[in-house]
Amino acid sequence: MSFSHHSHSGQFCAHAQNTLEEMVQAAIARKMKVFALTEHMPREEQDLYTEEIAKGLSGSGLDRQFERYFHEAKRLQKHYAGSIEILVGFETEWIQQHYEQKILQLLAKYRFDMFVGSIHHVRGIPIDIDRRQYEAARMIAGGTEELLFEAYFDEQLEMLQALKPPIVGHFDVIRLWCDEPTAPLTALRSACAKAIRNLKFIAEYGGLIELNSAALRKGHSEAYPSKQLCHEFARLGGKFTLSDDAHCIEHIGQNYDQVLEAMAEMGIATLSVLRRDFKTFDGRFPNVGVDTISVNGLLENWLGS
């Protein structure tokens, strides 16, 4: 049984492609059994991306788009119920402290199955778009990579403590544009300590960290999180899930073989998958529970599909 807990579509995300329904159909074609729809939450006017401005979107326009997304996702969940288990969720932003209230309002307004807790900014500047903005964030954080990483993990902890997300997205995406993305985080001692602090907090409240294969398609040799951090999380008793963070149909399940082989080599034997109508996982999401699947079994199934 294959699955993904993180995806986007060009219908509701300006830097993605394909419609939401095409994404679902592609997941079915790849024989996935569970597929989470997790479009980005709306951002405020001052936080629009260049491609959104080019399309004439506004902060209120993103709110309306998100409303349309939720209703289309629920329609697809019902329509394809016999072919695939669709989870309807969203991915967070954590740009300013008051985004906490925006997220809580979304959770109160819509009946989501889950959500992915992610941050994409440091000091209000995107850190996963391009090198130029990454360097701008580094300068504001103090001018060094260690200070930027420290700021990232501090802001991530704020998000984790406020929301306790059921799934934590691309835990160390901060390394996407860094000088040495394959270097062990231990080279940045203080930042490494903060990352391990965050991993411990996630393990303690029972959150799942996604093994996110998007890093591989972006030229990295390891998925998010790095193998070093995966070892630390496993040592702390933490549990993992699996995501492709797809932004088009070609991304669905991409590089899963590499991710699963790496997990097996590290001795991580099982992955957790959110399912509807299982034992309750979180009081906020009464229709969703957690199932466990063998990494080796999933790898054999994926390679044979």
| b/e 253-286 (16+ beta carbons within 10 angstroms → b) | bbebeebbebbeeeebeebbbbbbeeeebbeebe
User: What pLDDT was estimated at residue 278?
Assistant: 62
When pLDDT is averaged across residues 171-200 and rounded to a whole number, the result is 93
When pLDDT is averaged across residues 169-177 and rounded to a whole number, the result is 97
Q: What percent of the chain has pLDDT over 70?
A: 97
The model's confidence at residue 17, banded by pLDDT at 50, 70 and 90, is: very high
Please name the fold of domain 2-304: TIM Barrel (3.20.20)
Q: What is the pTM of this model?
A: 0.95
What is the average pLDDT value for the chain, to the nearest integer? 93
When pLDDT is averaged across residues 268-275 and rounded to a whole number, the result is 93
Digit-coded pLDDT (tens) for 55-78 = 889 999 999 999 999 999 999 999
For residues 128 and 173, the answer to whether their CB atoms sit within 8 Å is yes
Q: With a cut of 60, say whether residue 31 has pLDDT above it.
A: yes
Q: DSSP code of 14?
A: T
When pLDDT is averaged across residues 4-23 and rounded to a whole number, the result is 97
User: What pLDDT was estimated at residue 283?
Assistant: 63
Q: Where are the domains positioned within the chain?
A: 2-304
